[in-house]
Amino acid sequence: MGSTTLSIDDKVTVKRVRAFFTDELPKLQLLAHVRLSSVSLDAMPVHHSNENTAIDKMTRQVQARMYIDDMVEALSVLPDIERKVIVLKYIQGLQWFAVSDRFHLSVRRLQEIMQKALNDFGIVYAGTLRLLDAG
């Protein structure tokens, strides 16, 4: 298999998507799993403040769940191996050697697949990434 050459834009996309999976996804997962029972609607502030209100917390939770749902949908349209490599590496947190053992492929080949997978994911998930960048 030949080496995959990415354009400058593709490299930027891959870098952005990698940052999403390593930095933002863990935060979204935490936000999306906030228990609504811990939010008290009785203690709503009467005046506006910069503090997080119960509604702000619920809004962030719903938004995080929407972003995760969008991510799952974006992953679902990727080719099977690309989806599995992303899931194993970034969502399940496996090391490259463990992913390599699972697919019986070299780490180098898996990294090539990952580059393409991240770029393809970035194209599908672009709208949501723009929302995350703006927020």
Q: What is the CATH number of the domain that holds 13?
A: 1.10.10.10
Q: Is residue 47 part of a domain?
A: no
Does the residue 48 lie in any domain? no
Contacts of 117 (CB under 8 A, 6+ apart): 78, 81, 82, 83, 85, 86
Closest CA to 115 of 1, 2, 4: 4
Tell whether 42 is covered by a domain.
Answer: no
Assessment of whether the complete model's pTM goes beyond 0.85: no
Q: Is residue 63 part of a domain?
A: yes
Number of domains in the chain: 1
The stretches in the chain having pLDDT less than 70 are 1-6, 8, 34-52, 135
Query: What per-residue confidence (pLDDT) applies to 39?
Result: 38
pLDDT tens per residue across span 84-106: 999 999 999 999 999 999 999 99
Residue 132 pLDDT: 78
| Predicted pLDDT of residue 4 | 56
Range of the domain at 58: 8-35+53-134
| pLDDT the model gives residue 127 | 85
